[in-house]
Amino acid sequence: MSATEPTEPTERAEPPESAGSADPVDVFADRVLASALGAFETLSIHLGDRLDWYRTLAERGALTSAELAETAGTGERYTREWLEHQAVSGIVAVDDADAEASARRYSLPPPHAEVLTDADSLAYLAPIARIVASAAMQVPGLLAAARTGGGVPWASFGKDMRDAQGDVNRPWFERRLGAALASVPDLDAVLSRPGARFVDVGCGHGWSSIALARAYPEATVVGVDVDGPSIDAARAHADEAELADRASFHLGGGETLAEPGAYDAGFVFEALHDMPNPVEVLEALRHAVRDDGVVVIMDEAVADRFAPDGDDLERIMYGYSLLVCLPDSLSTPGSAATGTVMRPAVLDGYARHAGFSGTEVLPIEGFAAFRFTRLVR
């Protein structure tokens, strides 16, 4: 018996006989095995991403394991094993499977190359493998946190996690955010004011702030975040985009926003659920944004209420929450411990406690995984 085959229980009632019926134990065992296969593939994608194997194949075309290893600067035996794994998994193509192992030439199909190497594509998903790998590296800390009720701070997840979060959101912000906001006329009217000022709380690598500055050339944007390396990266990205004169970045939490009425618009893009003090952040935004301005929260478009057997979005957001977002939030004493799955009613409750009268979901399309909510004064 192989290590991947489930062991047979010593006693198990046989399922009722019916045409085409499947043993529910076998069905669930198959699901667990499929999950293991997916985990191994995800970690192999992480290796291919970080060792430049995918990029080398995309740029150079069909290569033998020795050619790939030499170009990427990796060990040939590991490179060959990875290539064979990728081929049996249907990720790379092989020109002659019957050739000697050292003579086989492998290539990365163009659609796969876009998903795994094109950082500008809306289909770019290699960063998710980095997120999963970074979370897996923190399992000892996560186990300890789950036992004690403590947390694992964002800084513990390391550079790969931080960069992956920025990289996975970048194409959506750069290519879709401006048009999405402009599709709501009364929102666009506020954002288009001459000399408008925006604040972007929890800006991370700054791609949302840069997208705002690019979409609204009359505006200036101030991004704030509690993570120092992210602020450094945001400043570098703004310099590269030649927007540093209108997109500036500062280290700090959203609770500490000063200058009442200083901004025409306040945004939190996919970050409020991570914040230990969401009500205090929203209250600070209410004071910092003019009464005739707007406060918009973009967060995960999870279902309105909990239900078992959720869709893929629910499943992946609970995965993020369990392994990353909730531990990060709980690393701060007294945290609200929201988690990634912030239902609309939870956000509405936070908004009302912060002094807003309620919330309004904006009719924005093109961001299937996200919901844009305007806070109503």
**End-to-end Cα distance, the chain:** 65
pLDDT at residue 22, rounded to an integer: 87
Q: Write out pLDDT tens, residues 202-248.
A: 999 999 999 999 999 999 999 999 999 999 999 999 999 999 999 99
Q: Which residues of the chain have pLDDT under 70?
A: 1-20
Q: What SS3 state is found at 294?
A: strand
With 0-12 CB in 10 A as exposed, 13-18 as middle and 19+ as buried, what is 306?
A: exposed
Q: How many CA atoms lie within 13 A of 86 on its CB side?
A: 29
Longest dimension (CA), the chain: 75
Chain centroid to CA 359:
24
Of 235, 252, 253, residue with least CA distance to 244: 235
Please give the pLDDT value at position 9.
40
Instruction: Give the CA-trace dihedral at 151, 153, 156, 157, to 10 degrees.
Output: 90
pLDDT of residue 183: 97
Distance from the Cα of residue 123 to its chain's centroid? 13
- Domains in the chain, start-ordered, CATH in brackets? 24-115 (1.10.10.10), 172-376 (3.40.50.150)
Whether the Cβ atoms of residue 213 and residue 181 lie closer than 8 Å to each other: no
Could you tell me if 180 and 146 are in contact, meaning their C-beta atoms sit under 8 angstroms apart? Answer: no
DSSP result, 23-63? -HHHHHHHHHHHHHHHHHHHHHHHHHHHTTHHHHHHHH-SB
Residue 21: predicted pLDDT: 76
Model pTM score: 0.90
Give strand pairing partners of 201: 224, 268
Residue 167 is predicted with a pLDDT of 96
Cβ contact 297:350 at 8 Å: no
Amino acid letter for position 279: V
Strand pairing category for 263-269 and 197-201: parallel
